Structure 1
Amino acid sequence: MKIARIENLHCDAGWRVFSFLKITTDDGLVGWSEYNESYGSHGLTGIIRKLGERLIGQDPRPVERISATLYAITRQAPGGMNSQAIAAIENALLDVKAKALGVPVCALFGGPVRDRLQLYWSHCGSYRLNQAEKMGVEPVRSLDDLVKLGRHVRERGFAALKTNIFRFDANPPYMHQPGFTRGPGFPELNTDARLLAAIRDELAAFRQGAGPDMGILLDLNFNFKTEGYVKVARAVEPYDLFWLEIDSYDPEGLAYIRSRAGMPIASCESLFGRRQFWPFFENRSMDVAIVDVPWNGLTESVKIAAMADPYEINCAPHNFYGHLSTLMSAHFCAAIPNFRIMEIDIDDVPWKDDLVTHPPVIEDGHLLVPTRPGWGADVNEDAIRAHPVKS
């Protein structure tokens, strides 16, 4: 078996682009992976193509050797888009190998450990602020809307939801994201009494609608400095959070925040590889390690989880992409023993299900791990072409 072709496909996904890598072998097997260049990784497709050129004619099945080779030739510029490109190639090769063996990908890693994965409804209300029309749902414009949405999540069978920071004291309301230069607060990333009050009001509304048993997760992203994260953690203690999610590149600073927070801390979704995760484990910086499978590749992601296990840290995937990414992340969750909970975006464009041959199956707030060979689904190329990327 030899690699014959490497192709990239893209489609419109409303407010971003879904991107896919297709690796075809000389005997007709096709391996797929999903990657993303809509959030700071512009030009990733070109890097994937450049790295992929040297793989034409090679056997796709020794995945570890290929990944090690690609890492070695990018060793002087590690992480970032080089790591994302290697991950996209690695994930597609794993799909090929599992299909060749007639097994699901998680079986390549000794799994499945479990066949049902607890989910949390991610970006709950976040996309509804500005993208409701594209999704065909009711927009979120007030705290009352959050009460209704929390109730809706509970009625859909989910036991956990994650949200971001909303500012309803502005017209129109917006999501507080100065860490990404969106809205006021950049570059200082400070907090104040009005912002803390807005966060408390938001959590109270979700708690009112979703009920006392709903796990509520709050994602603070990169929107504060250490001082601000501590202030937010103290402000939200009465709302019994499932976790407070923080992005930080400072393991000691994050450990300081954790020591002063009255709830679990989750972090690390923006890190690459064991070398970047290790100091966070050594400093006991977080309670839950978030691992991005499209960024790290499943092989490296499983190794990160194995490294986390001796520190008594469970892992959760960073998964706010399309359905193929959800399936890739599901195999990660199925393969590792130290699984916490899985992220999924329920609010999305109406054609999301059409983009894969077998969309994820969700029952009572749990995803059923697919048992078909490979990831358990292929990309529907006709659907991709039906939704071209808007220029």
Structure 2
Amino acid sequence: MKIIRLTTFLVPPRWCFLRIDTDAGISGWGEPVVEGRAHTVAAAVDELSDYLIGKDPHHIEDLWSVMYRAGFYRGGPILMSAIAGIDQALWDIKGKDLGRPVYDLLGGPVRDRIRVYSWIGGDRPADTARAAMEAVARGFTAVKMNATEEMQYVDSFDKVERVLANVQAVRDAVGPHVGLGLDFHGRVHKPMAKVLMRELEPYKLMFIEEPVLSEYLECIPELASISPAPIALGERLYSRYDFKRVLETGGVDILQPDPSHAGGITETRKIAAMAEAYDVAIALHCPLGPIALAANLQIDAVSHNAFIQEQSLGIHYNASNDLLDYVSDRSVFAYQDGYVTMPTGPGLGITVNEEYVAERAAEGHRWRNPLWRHADGSVAEW
């Protein structure tokens, strides 16, 4: 079997899909994307195709090494996301060829379902509380929300009070036993992270995500010593070498690699195994499309330290298209009682609606994240 073609599709709301075709008539799908840089990642996929055309798609580990090591420059969000989507598609081909789910080829599942959480949003506490209640009514037992909008290095306490009011509203709405993740989103710097963490103790949070940007890993042990909840981060890290620094620095309890950014199934599984050796949990990052979610679940199925999975159904980004629009069988992600069942079909376990993908790719997208500024006019972290 030989690879004959790689085709990317930029589809709304902000995703990039990849199909790899073979001379045996078997095609595999992946999701190589950096949100807001989809065109750039698609260009990187095209460049990497020079290493892949004519090669045997079964040789995944070798092809991964070629894509990563054959170029003098390596790592980073664009290259690793391009590799990630290609890697997902190669595993999809291999699973389809052998008639088995990818997780069977990785040693077999350690679980048949995994807990999922729903992102909730809103401009005011009442809006966020309503969104939380709606998520719980749909069967979710855990939710995640952004902690704050823009926040200066040292900011006024009224912004802290707004955070607390929002969290309190959600807790009042759903009670003490629904899991609540609070995402600082890298918007908060160390001085205010220390203030927020001390004030958040009463709310029994499931985790605090990206209390500071990953560039400031040296701050994490200090923050961990005062944090009222496990610390999670990793969506903006791209390889086992990035995560090695996290694990060596300490203070992080939950790693959140994104298998569409961190080198695909091949690399993310290695990251999960590294985390297990440090008794650190995994909660894979996935605010993306159905191919990405299917790839995530293959890793969850074989990773003992995976405890919860992000997914994008109904997320605020998905205004024009949602998670299930691009799959032929919308029941493939069977959410029930706050869990999702692992897909049992061959490869990634989903069937992409190729006709609809082509239709929406004709429209495409040029999604960009918002540009925020502080009151003094300086650029704020989004």
**TM-based fold match above 0.5:** yes
Q: In the alignment, which residue of structure 2 is the partner of 1:128?
A: none
Which residue matches 1:342?
A: 309
Cα distance, 1:41 vs. partner? 5.6
User: Match of 2:329?
Assistant: 358
Pair 1:389 & 2:360 matched: no
The number of residues matched between the two structures is: 355
State the alpha-carbon separation in 2 of the partners of residues 74 and 231 from structure 1. 44
Contact 2:126 2:169 in 1 (8 A): yes
Equivalent residue, structure 2, for 1:133: none
CA distance in 2, matches of 1:141, 1:81: 32
1:270-289 alignment runs, 5 A limit: 270-289=236-255
In the other structure, the counterpart of 1:136 is none
Distance 1:189 1:35, change over 3 A: farther
Tell me whether 1:39 sits opposite 2:41 in the alignment: no
Deviation at 1:320, TM superposition (A): 0.1
Look up the SS of the partner of 1:64 in the other structure. helix
Which residue number corresponds to residue 137 of structure 1?
none
Check whether the contact 1:149–1:209 (CA below 8 A) recurs between aligned residues: no
8 Å contact from structure 1 (residues 147, 206) kept in 2: yes
In 1, Cα distance between equivalents of 2:96 and 2:319: 29
The two structures, once aligned, show a CA RMSD in angstroms of: 1.7
Residue-by-residue CA offset, 1:271-327 (whole Å, 9 max, x unaligned) = 111111112111222111111101121111010111111111011100000111111
8 Å CA contact 1:48, 1:89 repeated in 2:
yes
| 1:250 Cα deviation after fit | 2.7
Q: Secondary structure at the match of 1:36?
A: coil
Q: What are the within-5 Å matches in structure 2 for residues 22-101 of structure 1?
A: 22-40=19-37, 42-101=39-98
Amino acid at match of 1:389: G
| Alignment map for 1:1-391 (pairs within 5 Å) | 1-13=1-13, 17-40=14-37, 42-122=39-119, 124-125=120-121, 140-165=122-147, 176=149, 178=150, 185=151, 188-246=152-210, 247-296=213-262, 297-347=264-314, 348-349=318-319, 351-352=321-322, 353-359=324-330, 360-387=333-360, 388-390=363-365
* Counterpart AA for 1:369: M
C-alpha deviation, 1:165, in angstroms: 3.1
What secondary structure, in the 3-state scheme, does the structure 2 residue paired with 1:31 have? Answer: strand
Q: Percent identity?
A: 30
1:160 maps to a residue whose letter is A
Alignment partner, residue 134 of structure 1: none
Deviation, 1:66, is 0.4
The one-letter code matched in structure 2 to 1:270 is R
CA displacement at 1:145 relative to structure 2: 2.6
| Distance change (3 Å), C-alpha of 1:21 and 1:295 | same
2:10/2:365 contact within 8 Å kept: no
Distance change >3 Å, CA 64–CA 76, structure 1 → 2: same
Question: In structure 2, how many angstroms separate the alpha carbons of the residues matched to 1:245 and 1:351?
Answer: 26
Superposed CA offset, 1:229-249 (max 9, x none)? 111111211111000001422
CA–CA separation in structure 1 for the residues paired with 2:312 and 2:81: 21
Report the Cα offset of residue 350 of structure 1.
6.5
Distance 1:390 1:310 in 2: 41
Q: Is the 8 Å Cα contact of residues 34 and 261 (structure 2) preserved in structure 1?
A: no
Cα offset for 1:111?
A: 2.3
Kept in 2: contact 1:226–1:254 (CA 8 A): no
Distance 1:323 1:310, change over 3 A: same
User: CA distance change for structure 1 residues 232 and 361 in 2, over 3 Å: closer, same or farther?
Assistant: same
| Cα distance in structure 2, aligned partners of 1:109 and 1:202 | 42
Change (3 A) 1:101 1:206: same
Unaligned stretches of 5+ in structure 1? 126-139, 167-175, 179-184
Q: What is the distance in 1 between the residues matched to 2:354 and 2:174? A: 38
Q: Match of 2:373?
A: none
In structure 2, give the amino acid aligned to 1:276.
D
What SS does the aligned partner of 2:30 have? strand
Could you report, residue by residue, the CA deviation over 1:158-177 in whole angstroms, capped at 9, with x for unpaired residues? 111000135xxxxxxxxx1x
Deviation, structure 1 residue 4? 1.1
Residue 173 of structure 1 corresponds to none
**Quick one: which amino acid aligns to residue 218 of structure 2?**
E
Query: TM-score under structure 1 normalisation?
Result: 0.87
Instruction: Mark the CA change 1:49 to 1:354 in structure 2 (over 3 Å): closer, same or farther.
Output: same
Q: What is the alpha-carbon distance in structure 2 between the residues aligned to residue 3 and residue 147 of structure 1?
A: 49
* Alignment deviations for residues 105-133 of structure 1 (CA, whole Å, 9 cap, x no partner): 111211211111100112x02xxxxxxxx
